[in-house]
């Protein structure tokens, strides 16, 4: 008599396996923004998702990518022409292309699932540092312009790096700007510059070794042009143009958790950051002061100056460093396309499965609410935070130096948000001490006694969490 195990084996052998395939294929489509005109933007990117409804397929916003052209320019705004000796490593972006995103508003159907809240780049940076694995950083970091800022010495431990691809990286920014760590010691800056700052300038030694860089825009690389020699007033000494890539799931928690949807309709509005930074140089060509740091749109200057030697000429002058969302070709630099695009994958379902899958959309969205407040030095603050969110899962406090702060002179760089010479990606960090921190929810204090949060306690927490913040690198 057959045993039960024999019957199971016989049934499995006699029964035809289910060969039903849910989706026949996966394809991609893109949506052009509705706000630009020939590469000119006015502070906001707009995407109409109704194009996805016309496909009549299952669209997945959790895998969507947004690309837009960005431009970094250093312009001579002094009173006379000057002679320079800079190179293509003079400037690059801050940590991640998401630094260009100030806020995002997303509507699905007639429901706004995410409202426009400022400083989205700061929140995204925090999530990347606390939630990403090393594998995700390795796979997505270069495409998204993300590399970790750090301070490292040369392998011998006694000196700093002096060159990158045979290019000098001597310190040129003096302490008066608030910049104390040389870019030559920041591996994050060098990683971003190596991937983005590609040039076909004949003065660059690497051009003769890699002629394919002439087609850099077609390869998705950055396009850089710079001038070694006389630079007239109003002309650019350095220009970088590239396509910024941002994952929608990184700037939107609700989209990260959305399943594939059919007949998807809605809108995505992105308010971007752009800034202008004016600095002066002395007779040695080194930066010796900052006269203006302004955010044109948003709250952050997304560019970062490199310290590439005393290359700003032999006479005192004034320079303007601008980082903006722009697709207009300038100074010999261009990008593959001048408009912003939202790339969304969609799945083609088999007929039987398509009829069986439900098309009813019930979305429980995750909202993010920002409350800004100012605390003067040695003073206290007591305020009410009313986000209007039921049972918020977490609360994050980001410290930021106020733009009104000054240290001894007006030339001190006051705000990391609009700074281009500081390593902080968007002004966040544990370098501000909080004394007497107490949070009350529903009339109940969350802490037994007010907390004293400073750099030492932060370091203790990090040490307790372990290597890599307690994250699994796999």
Residue with tokens 């020699």: 229
pLDDT of residue 197: 82
DSSP class per residue in 62-114 = GG-EEEEEEEEEEEE-SSS-EEEE--TTSEEE-SSGGGGEEEEEEEETTEEEE
- pLDDT by residue, tens only, the chain of 474 residues: 567 777 777 777 666 666 666 778 889 999 999 988 888 998 899 999 998 988 888 899 999 999 999 999 999 888 888 878 777 888 889 889 999 999 999 998 888 888 888 888 888 988 888 888 889 999 999 999 998 887 666 544 444 555 545 555 454 444 444 444 566 677 888 888 888 887 765 555 444 444 444 555 555 567 888 888 888 888 888 999 999 999 999 999 888 888 888 888 899 999 999 988 888 777 776 676 677 777 788 888 898 887 644 567 767 788 899 999 999 988 888 888 899 999 999 988 877 777 777 666 666 656 677 777 777 766 777 766 666 666 666 666 666 655 444 443 443 444 667 777 766 544 444 445 666 777 777 777 877 888 776 656 655 554 455 445 455 444
Question: For residues 169 and 305, is the Cβ–Cβ distance under 8 A?
Answer: no
pLDDT of residue 30: 94
pLDDT of residue 135: 92
Compute the radius of gyration of the chain from its Cα atoms.
Answer: 26
Question: For residues 91 and 238, is the Cβ–Cβ distance under 8 A?
Answer: yes
pLDDT of residue 455: 56
Distance from C-alpha of 433 to C-alpha of 451, rounded to nearest angstrom: 11
Distance from C-alpha of 149 to C-alpha of 458, rounded to nearest angstrom: 19
Residue 69 pairs in a beta bridge with 243
Q: Closest by alpha carbon to 253, among 152, 159, 386, 131?
A: 131
Q: 422-448 burial string, b = 16+ CB within 10 Å, else e?
A: bbbbbbbbbeeeeeeeeeeeeeeeeee
Question: For residues 335 and 217, is the Cβ–Cβ distance under 8 A?
Answer: yes
Residue 321 pairs in a beta bridge with 74, 277
Work out the number of other CB atoms within 10 angstroms of the CB of residue 462: 13
Distance from C-alpha of 361 to C-alpha of 324, rounded to nearest angstrom: 37
- β 434-437/82-85 pair status: unpaired
Distance from C-alpha of 334 to C-alpha of 241, rounded to nearest angstrom: 6
């Amino acid at each position: 008599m057959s045993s039960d195990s024999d019957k199971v084996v016989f049934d499995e052998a006699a029964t035809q396996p289910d060969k039903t395939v849910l989706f026949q294929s996966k394809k991609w489509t893109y949506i052009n923004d509705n706000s630009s005109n020939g590469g000119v933007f006015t502070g906001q990117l707009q995407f109409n998702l109704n194009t996805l409804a016309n496909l009549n397929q299952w669209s997945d916003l959790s895998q969507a990518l947004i690309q837009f052209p960005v431009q970094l320019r250093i312009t001579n705004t002094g009173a006379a022409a000057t002679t320079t000796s800079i190179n293509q490593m003079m400037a690059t972006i801050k940590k991640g292309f998401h630094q260009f995103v100030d806020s995002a508003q997303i509507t699905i159907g007639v429901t706004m699932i995410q409202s426009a809240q400022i400083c989205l780049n700061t929140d995204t940076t925090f999530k990347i540092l606390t939630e990403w694995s090393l594998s995700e950083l390795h796979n997505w970091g270069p495409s998204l312009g993300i590399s970790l800022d750090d301070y490292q010495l040369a392998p011998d431990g006694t000196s700093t790096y002096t060159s990158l691809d045979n290019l000098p990286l001597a310190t040129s920014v003096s302490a008066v700007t608030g910049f104390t760590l040389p870019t030559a010691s920041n591996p994050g800056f060098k990683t971003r510059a190596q991937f983005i700052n590609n040039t076909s300038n004949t003065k660059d030694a690497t051009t003769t070794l890699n002629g394919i860089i002439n087609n850099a825009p077609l390869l998705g690389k950055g396009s850089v042009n710079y001038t070694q020699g006389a630079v007239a007033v109003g002309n650019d000494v350095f220009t970088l143009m590239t396509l910024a890539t941002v994952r929608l799931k990184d700037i939107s928690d609700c989209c990260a958790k959305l399943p594939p949807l059919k007949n998807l309709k809605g809108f995505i509005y992105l308010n971007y950051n752009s800034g202008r930074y004016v600095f002066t140089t002395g007779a040695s060509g080194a930066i010796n002061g900052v006269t203006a740091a302004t955010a044109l749109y948003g709250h952050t200057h997304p560019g970062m100056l490199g310290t590439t030697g005393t290359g700003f000429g032999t006479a005192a002058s004034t320079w303007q460093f601008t980082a903006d969302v722009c697709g207009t070709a300038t100074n010999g630099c261009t990008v593959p396309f001048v408009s912003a695009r939202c790339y969304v994958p969609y799945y083609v379902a088999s007929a039987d499965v398509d009829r069986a899958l439900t098309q009813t959309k019930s979305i429980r969205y995750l909202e993010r609410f920002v409350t800004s407040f100012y605390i003067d030095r040695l003073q206290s603050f007591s305020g009410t935070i009313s986000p209007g969110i039921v049972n918020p899962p977490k609360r994050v406090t980001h410290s930021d130096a106020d733009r009104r702060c000054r240290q001894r002179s007006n030339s001190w760089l006051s705000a990391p948000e609009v700074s281009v010479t500081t390593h902080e990606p968007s002004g966040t960090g544990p370098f501000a001490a909080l004394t007497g921190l107490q949070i009350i929810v529903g009339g109940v204090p969350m802490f037994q006694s007010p907390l004293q949060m400073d750099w030492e306690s932060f370091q203790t927490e990090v040490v307790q969490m372990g290597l890599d913040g307690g994250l699994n690198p796999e």
